[in-house]
Chains A and B, each alone.
Chain A
Amino acid sequence: MTRLSWLAALAGMACASLASAQTSTTDEIAKYRAALQDGNPAELWEARGEALWKAKRGPKQVTFEGCDVGKGPGVVKGAYAELPRYFADADRVMDLETRLVWCMVRLQGYSEADAKKNPFGNGSDKRSDLEALTAYVTSESRGVKMNVALGHPKEVEAYRVGEKLFYYRGGTHDFACATCHGEDGKRIRLQDLPNLMKTEGAQKAYTTWPAYRVSQGELRTFEWRLYDCFRQQRFPELVYDSDAAIALTTYLAHNANGGVYDGPGIKR
């Protein structure tokens, strides 16, 4: 072999080993997730959420069993797979967390500010009841196919607004959701990012939230996921239960239709 072809062969090997280092890191992270799946601490949140669901709470001392999250009062089985949806009593499209707050205000008598004063928990001193309740309700849809309807005009509107938000570029970094989530093989640090413009990508991502975040030791909901994406994009703070959060959720949830819900999951 000539010297030149030797060099070319060496260069080729270097590229190949770089590529295999990348895939093996990805594989190792996948193995790590699989190993944790068996003892997912999200179950602790599910258990606490179930107890909260059945407990008499708030100034009116009533349980969540009168709360309609889409399939009738107190019915949680399969409800999350059809959310967000339009609720006639509120005349608004709502995601699960917005609906839980609505029930805390309407049924249990909390003020709106009290109901959502701690959406994202932090350790044992600052536990979030909303995260636990969300974990419980979502766990009751495990194995159910996502089926978010766009029947009501307000649902269609939410989807369209969500789609617009997904592609809207702004902030100091001129980022849109699509900047990171519109192509295969994008990463943030070593984490692969799902391509949300493809059905498989949207299904895989949406059906595994809420999730226990090992690095934070907390269960995080989909509202948190969007809130933190906005922070990472250097966007203005995404307001909890806002129309923008619900619209984006509607867009992503509808795009995940047909995927089997498999949450709460576990993430790095």
Chain B
Amino acid sequence: MAIGEPMKIRAALAGDQTEVKVLMNHEMETGQRKDAQGQTIPAWFIQSVMATWNGKAVLSAQWGTAIAKNPFLSFKFKGGAKGDKILIHWVDSRGDQRTDEAVIA
């Protein structure tokens, strides 16, 4: 299994909430486009995304082809403290996956 390109994750405490912003590196091919030879470019996209805070799931999502290339994901959850670990994990339609982590600032 290939390992995707690194994500960029920022997590910051705002009051009693933690705001997480993630930039992912992915082609997100819809399967609708054709190349210069007229051949369909096969679909290839992130299918599932999981975010954990100190090992506990805070977001889980199933994605499709309507998500843009190089997706940007932003979400908030209640709780979190400075120094806590946020882990983002995705799996795409080819079975490639990637996990990156960040520390709440």
Residues of A within 8 A of B (CB): 36, 38-41, 43-44, 47-48, 123-124, 214, 217
Contacts and interface: CB of A to CB of B under 8 A. Distances in A.
B74 A39 contact: yes
A124 B74 contact: no
26 contacts: A36-B72, A38-B21, A38-B72, A38-B74, A39-B21, A39-B23, A39-B72, A39-B74, A40-B23, A41-B23, A41-B70, A41-B72, A43-B8, A43-B23, A44-B5, A44-B8, A44-B23, A44-B25, A44-B70, A47-B6, A47-B8, A123-B27, A214-B68, A217-B68, A217-B69, A217-B70
Interface in B1-42: 5-6, 8, 21, 23, 25, 27
**What is the interface of chain A mostly: helix, strand, loop, or mixed?**
loop
Contacts of A43: 8, 23
Interface in B44-91: 68-70, 72, 74
Contacts of A124: 27
A173 to B, nearest CB: 26
Given A39-B21, A43-B23, A124-B27, A48 B70 contact: no
A54 to B, nearest CB: 14
A232 B27 CA distance: 27
A41 B72 CA distance: 8
Contacts of A41: 23, 70, 72
A43 B7 CA distance: 10
A68 B22 CA distance: 33
A210 B70 CA distance: 17
Given A41-B72, A44-B70, 20 more contacts: A38-B72, A38-B74, A39-B21, A39-B23, A39-B72, A39-B74, A40-B23, A43-B23, A44-B5, A44-B8, A44-B23, A44-B25, A47-B6, A47-B8, A48-B5, A123-B27, A217-B27, A217-B68, A217-B69, A217-B70
Contacts of B72: 36, 38-39, 41
Contacts of B70: 41, 44, 217
A180 B90 CA distance: 44
Nearest to B73: A39
A36 to B, nearest CB: 8
A103 to B, nearest CB: 24
Contacts of B6: 47
Contacts of B69: 217
Contacts of A47: 6, 8
A41 B27 CA distance: 12
A132 B23 CA distance: 16
Nearest to A212: B70
Nearest to B72: A39
